Structure formats: C-alpha cells, structure tokens
Structure 1
Amino acid sequence: MKVSLKYYTIKYLIMILLLIIAVWAGLFYAYILDEVHDNVDDGLRNRKIQIIKAVYLNPELLNNNDFGFNEFKINPIKAGEYQNKSRLYNKMYYMEYDDKDQPYRVLEADFIDQFKKQQRLVIRTSTVEEDELIYDLTTALMVLYLLLVISIVVVNGYLLNKAMRPFYRILDKLKKYQFGIPFSQEKQTYKISEFEELNIEINEMIERNELVFYQQKQFIENASHELQTPLAIVINKIDLMILNDDLDKKNLTFLTDVKNDLRRMVGLNKSLLMLSKIENSQFNKTSDVDFNGMIAQLVQSYEDFIAFKKIEVNIIEKGRFTADFNQDLADILLSNLLKNAVKYNHEEGILQIIVENNRITFQNSGIAVPLDKSRIFNRFYKQAADHTSTGLGLSIIKTIIKQYPGWEIRYAFEGTMHYFILTKNNVH
C-alpha cells in the first residue's frame, strides 16, 4: 500500500527511535542499578569498619550472635575457615512485617579480635527499598520513553507537515493543470530552496509545453484549413467537368470516383481535426445536457437518411439520461452513434434506442456476423469492405468517452442485432 512521504518518513523515524531509545533505556537502567548496588555495598563496607572498631572498644559486642535491630552478628570460626577478603552476596531472609522472605544484601568479613580469636562478621541490609527504587525507576523510564517517542513523532509530524505545504501546493497545481487552459501565474516564493527551485522548473516546463501545444494546435488547424480550400476547389472543378456534355460514360464514371475519393478525404481531414481537438481538451466547457431531447432532435434531423433506407426507428425511454457534459461533444457522440446504426443497417432494418437513467443502448440490425470487439474502436478500422468510410467515427466516440472518467462505451452482438451501449457513472 502506498503512503505519503510524511507518513513514510514518520514510520521509519518511529522504528529508529524505538530501537535507539530502547538501547539507551537498557544501558541507563543497567548503569543506575549498578550505582545503587555500589552505594549499598559501600554502606556495608563502611559499617564493617565501624563495627570492628566498636568491638575493640566494647568486647561485649562479640556476644551479638544473631541478627538484631542492628542487622549484624559475630560468630567465632575455626582457623581453616578464615578468609582475608570480604564477600558480598544476595540472600532471602524472613521479614515479620510482610510475613514472608525478602531480599537482603549481605557482607561477610573475617577479622581477629583483641583476644587473638578469629571472628566472622555478617552484616545484612534489606534491599526492599532498592527493589522499589528500581521499580519506580523502570516505570519512570517507560513513561519517559513513551512521552519522548510521542513528542518526537508529534513535533516531527507537525514540522514535516509545515515543511511539505509548498510541495502539496505545487502538486495541487500540477493536478489542476490541463493543456490549453490558463493556469495561475501568480509569483510564489518558498523559504525552502529545493521547493523554490522545483516550482521554477515546473513553471518553465509548463510554459514550454504550452508553447509546443499551441504550435501543434496552430499547425493542425492551419494544415486542415489549407487542405480544405484546394479540396473544395478541385471538387467544384470536377462538378463543372461532369456537367460537360462531351464526356463519355467512362470518363464520367472516372470523375465521379475521383470526386467521391476527394469527398472522403474532406471527411477524413475534418475527422482527424476533430480527434485532435478532443484529445487536446479544447472542449472544456460543460453544462447540464439532456440526452433524451438531443436524441429526439437528431432522429428528426436524420429523417431523410432514415427514410431512404426504410429503417424503423423506435426510441424507448425508460428514464432520463442527463449529465454534466460538453454540448458539442454530446452532439458529436450521439450523431456518430446514430449515423453508425443507420449507415450499417440493411434496408427495412430496425433501430431501437433505449434510454435509461445511466445507460443508452443503440440496438440495430445489420450484417449477421459480430464485429471485432478488440479493434472496433481503433482508428481506421472499417466494417466489412466499406470504401466510403473514414474509419474514424467510432474512434471519435471512444476518444470523447475517455475525456469523462467513469463513462464507458462497449459493443455487443446477440442474435442478429448489434448493440452499442453507452454507460455513465452516477456522479452528476
């Protein structure tokens, strides 16, 4: 799953912080624990010195053979048990207050008293408070750990969000940009040099694209215009030649074929120009279009063509098909669908136009074999061997539909009927 740069950065920042702070907290905990043990051990060693001094001053302390409230005892030992070095260790002792065993830190030290006898001094100190200290320390570390991580993430998220605002403005400008549509030329400056440089480069790129787009559009329009004039002149001259009574049948047929080819070239030129304009988004103005009413008008406009082929046309309205659409493109779209359904229908055929809320179906009779679904909307694809067609009508339909996300045109064949189904999304 793709995420934004901000959350991508925060995700890895959290992971790294968790690892670094966890290692730091562990080392800090070990260091504090060692310091606590050192302090306890230093206190026990200091008490050892004080007790041994006190024994020399007060021999009665040698009779303190059990732990009392002073938490030490002295017992005589044999010569073979004597050790010069003090020993420190942990041991569990019963504590009356809690009525259970509790941990103690114990120091054992052997010494020779004033009577030249070997004695063993055992001093203990409860580490219950030490455990509580460690527990409190651990709790404080965990709270600090969480607060630190949360604070860093929140601060970093805020700073990243603030720092990335120029980037999102630039990105929003790019999303809204379309060829041939003026965009905001307001000069914007950014404190971050990289975003400032990015904005400058994007503005320059847009200007270059607009220049190329304008030059291309002008070339297509000029080329189309320049072609239309000589083509019209040649067709008119051929018409004058056809009216000449001196022509025999062979020459008359030849000139008629040339005229038809020229007319096809005129249609091809107009269709290519139309495709270019649609793809270059030159039909951007939209309004609420009533497709039901437009279909009724177009059927009436093509009444002579329909009557010539003796086609039965039925408009079946099961709903209202309205959409925010360019009026001119809607007219081209429906005209091409209607002409296609009439032109490639057989004489005395049937054409049914079924209008629903989100779908329009052109159902017409015709050749008894299905068309190639994978190629039917390609440019210059022709049905059967029709030499009068430019092969661009259905391609223009597909190009128009591509301008509106969520819209779809598809072909189907069932029985002897051909279906062209136009569907739209539910967003108005």
Structure 2
Amino acid sequence: MKLIHYISRRYLIYSILILLIAIPVFYFSLQYLMLKSLDENMNHQKTWIKKQLKTTIPNNFISFENSIIVRPSNNSQVFDSLYSQPVFIPDDNETVMHRILLSNTIVNGKPYEIRIQKSMIEDEDLLNSILVLQLVLVILLLTGLMIINFQLSKKLWKPFNDIVDKLNLYRVDRNKDEQFIPTNIEEFKNLGNSIKELIKRNRKLYKVQKEFTENASHELQTPIAIMQSKVELLMQTSPITQEQADLIEDISTAGNRMQRLNRTLLLLTKIENDQFPDTEKIQIKNVIQKLLNQYEEPAEQKNIQWKTELDNDIEITANPILIDILIGNILSNAIRHSENGHLISIKISQHRLIISNPADKKLDEKELFQRFKKQTENTHSIGLGLEMSKKICELYQYQIQYHFVHNQHLFSIIFN
C-alpha cells in the first residue's frame, strides 16, 4: 500500500467516524432545543391565559383549529403536562405530530383545564432542512479536504518517489552521479544527500573489491599455470618411483582443483556484483539439449541414461552464460550423485524445470545451497555448484527447490 493511500485512508476513517457521531448528536441537540423553545412559548401562553381568565370567561378564547382550548374542569388538582401526540387535521385530511401542554389550574376559586397544542411539522421540516444542509456541507468539506490532501501529498512526495525510482534503476558498476528532484522539504533533502553519499561509498568499495578480485584472480592464475606446467615436466622425468608418481599426481589434482576454485570464486563475485547485464531471449529446451551433448561423455562413463520430457518449452530473458551454469550445475550434480546404470529424468512442465535422479538418502537441505558445504566425499567437487545456482536464481528472482521423493533427488527451478 502506498504511503499516501495509507495516510488518506486513516483521515477518511477518522472523518467518517466523527461524522457518524456528530450528525446524530447535532440532530438530537437541535431537536431538544426546538422542543424546549416550543414548551417555553406554550408556557408563556398558559400564563397569559390564566391572567385573562380572571376577567373573562373561557368561551372568549377562540383559536384556529382548536389550538387553544379552555374549559371548566372537574379536577381541583393543579398540574401541568407536556407531551407529543399525533393529531388529525380535518382540513388537511392528515395526521400531524403536535406538542401539547395540558394544564389544570384554579382561577378565582374555579378549576379550569387549559389545552394548548402546536404543530411540530414546521419545526421538523426546519430541523430536517438544517440536517440535510449540514450533511451536504460536511460531505463537501470532507471531499474537498481529501482531494486537497491527496493532491498536496502527491506533490510533496514527488521528490521521494523520484529517489525510489532512481534507486530501482541504480547499478553500482555504472559511473554516474544520481541527480534527484530539488525540494524544499528538509527531510527529503537530507535523504537525497545521504543516498548520494551512500552511492559514492558503495561505488568506491565496489571498485576496490572489483580490482582486488580481478588482480587476485589474475595473480593466482599465473603461479597455478606455472605449477601445473612444472608438474607435467616433472612427470616426464626419469627415473621416477611409484611413490614419487603418486605424490606428483596428488599435486596435479590439487592444482587443478585450485584452478577451478579460483575461476568459480571469481564467477560468484561477478554474479553477486551483477556483472552480467547482457540478456537475450533463451529457450530452456535448447539449453538442455546443448548441455546433454556436453555431458554425454561423463554420462557414458557411468552408463547413465537420460529420460527427457521436453514437449513443453519455457522462454526467458537472461544472460545465456548464467543459464548454462545454472542448469549445468544441477545436471552435473545429478551425474555425480548417480550410480552406474541409473536413469536421470529431465522434465519441463509449465514454468518449471525438474531434474531428478535415484538416491539412497536425502541430502541435508540446511547446507545444500551453502558455500563449501559438500554433500559427498567426491574430491572433484569444490562445494560451490549449487551455491552458484542459488545466486543465479536470486539474481533473476527464480526459485530453486529440492525434494526427496520415492528415493529420488528432485531439483526444481521455477522460472517466474
């Protein structure tokens, strides 16, 4: 959820709650004040009638539609009663709510009943009109405030959105100073300056790390190549004992492993630094067929058979070198963990590539994709293949999964 929507929604909820509380309170308060004013007016009329009764008879009080009735009473008790009651009006042929004051009083020693009634329809109409007017004004005010708040917030947050957009496109290997939209907001200005300083430090650290990695790799390649060359020359000398030959072979194996390790670590560093920006459309089916041809010789050495289900295909956009490494590492891992005569299955299903091979026990999932964590005692493995595959999947936001089902190692790559 965007911040502007998050804030605006809370303003809206708060305003609606206040509106739901305020309008009924206003309505009943106004109704109470109107009834109070009406009751006071009728009480004034009652007082005036009592004064007039001292000098005149009840028949002299004539009112329209019997709104005032004064007549002798059989009740000698003095009391006043105020209530609301619907009254039928013959001339209008309708029933209208009235406010009624019923008073029993004694004037000149004689009891009288005074009944004063006043229609509440005018007050109700006035009350409803005021309520509707208030509701319209509140809605207009609320709508206007929300529009102003949204537009103002959108304008105020524009520098922040610009910073986020440029950070999404930021590449540490691109030597370009980011320029953000100028703003008078102190917080956004400080944020922009802090990010500029962070970018400069990251670029400097990246440059140092890149130079160190390249120099280290280059400097290591030369002595490793010299060592391998000297070992080969040493193997050609004579006489040579069996013990010496075994030692020389161990040195050669270690040199080859060191050379592979150097190349792999350099490749991992390049992947982590996103140094493979070139991408193109790739058909996974074509990649698999090419890799099967490359791994034909090691597969024949272990008499391994391939079972392929490549009727479907997946098209992705990525760096072809990295995709070859990603799928190739899993295929070589399947060959390494398979016994002689095993069957390796390769299947493409929707957006998923599944590679499985028979196995006796489950691999340790906690250490499966960790660096230098080998699941086998095979000396040819350097423990970086699956970790590299994991890094490639993270780079392109793919998912790599491992399951052990029916004595089968099952690796899945989900291409989003």
Does the pair score TM above 0.5? yes
Q: Are residues 1:400 and 2:400 paired?
A: no
Q: CA deviation at 1:282?
A: 1.5
**Pair 125,183 (structure 1): closer, same or farther in 2 beyond 3 Å:** farther
Residues 2-17 of structure 1: pairs in structure 2 closer than 5 A: 3-17=1-15
Q: Are residues 1:328 and 2:326 paired?
A: no
Counterpart of 2:99 in structure 1 is 104
Q: CA deviation at 1:328?
A: 0.9
**Pair 384,43 (structure 1): closer, same or farther in 2 beyond 3 Å:** closer
Counterpart of 1:276 in structure 2 is 269
**Pair 99,385 (structure 1): closer, same or farther in 2 beyond 3 Å:** closer
Q: CA deviation at 1:76?
A: 6.3
Counterpart of 2:284 in structure 1 is 291
**Pair 349,392 (structure 1): closer, same or farther in 2 beyond 3 Å:** same
For the 8 Å contact 1:275–1:396, the answer to whether it is kept is yes
**Pair 250,168 (structure 1): closer, same or farther in 2 beyond 3 Å:** same
SS in 2 for 1:403: helix
User: C-alpha deviations, 1:390-424, integer Å up to 9, x for none?
Assistant: 12122222222222224435354645x65544442
2:202 to 205, 209, 227: 209
For the 8 Å contact 1:398–1:409, the answer to whether it is kept is no
SS in 1 for 2:157: helix
Residues 362-381 of structure 1: pairs in structure 2 closer than 5 A: 362-364=355-357, 369-374=360-365, 375-381=367-373
**Quick check: 225-234 or 46-55, which moved more?**
46-55
Q: Are residues 1:64 and 2:55 paired?
A: no
**Pair 181,371 (structure 1): closer, same or farther in 2 beyond 3 Å:** farther
Counterpart of 2:162 in structure 1 is 169
CA distance, structure 1, for counterparts of residue 308 and residue 51 of structure 2: 120
Q: Which runs of 5+ in 2 are unaligned?
A: none
Q: CA deviation at 1:329?
A: 0.5
| Percent of paired sites with the same residue | 26
Q: CA deviation at 1:202?
A: 2.3
User: C-alpha deviations, 1:261-286, integer Å up to 9, x for none?
Assistant: 12211211211221222122222321
User: C-alpha deviations, 1:8-45, integer Å up to 9, x for none?
Assistant: 32333234334444554455445544553455456446
Q: CA deviation at 1:326?
A: 0.8
For the 8 Å contact 2:363–2:375, the answer to whether it is kept is no
Q: Are residues 1:424 and 2:379 paired?
A: no
RMSD of aligned alpha carbons: 3.9
CA distance, structure 1, for counterparts of residue 137 and residue 253 of structure 2: 88
2:383 to 373, 384, 391: 391
**Pair 134,382 (structure 1): closer, same or farther in 2 beyond 3 Å:** closer
For the 8 Å contact 2:398–2:413, the answer to whether it is kept is no
SS in 2 for 1:410: strand
**Pair 53,292 (structure 1): closer, same or farther in 2 beyond 3 Å:** closer
TM-score, scaled to structure 2:
0.80
Letter of the aligned partner of 1:319 in structure 2? N
CA distance, structure 2, for counterparts of residue 49 and residue 409 of structure 1: 94
CA distance, structure 1, for counterparts of residue 126 and residue 207 of structure 2: 78
State how many pairs are aligned: 412
Q: Are residues 1:258 and 2:251 paired?
A: yes
Residues 39-54 of structure 1: pairs in structure 2 closer than 5 A: 39-41=37-39, 43-44=41-42, 47=45
**Pair 388,19 (structure 1): closer, same or farther in 2 beyond 3 Å:** closer
User: C-alpha deviations, 1:151-179, integer Å up to 9, x for none?
Assistant: 43344334333433333333333334354
CA distance, structure 1, for counterparts of residue 244 and residue 286 of structure 2: 47
Counterpart of 2:118 in structure 1 is 126
Letter of the aligned partner of 1:392 in structure 2? L
Letter of the aligned partner of 1:103 in structure 2? H
**Pair 42,247 (structure 1): closer, same or farther in 2 beyond 3 Å:** same
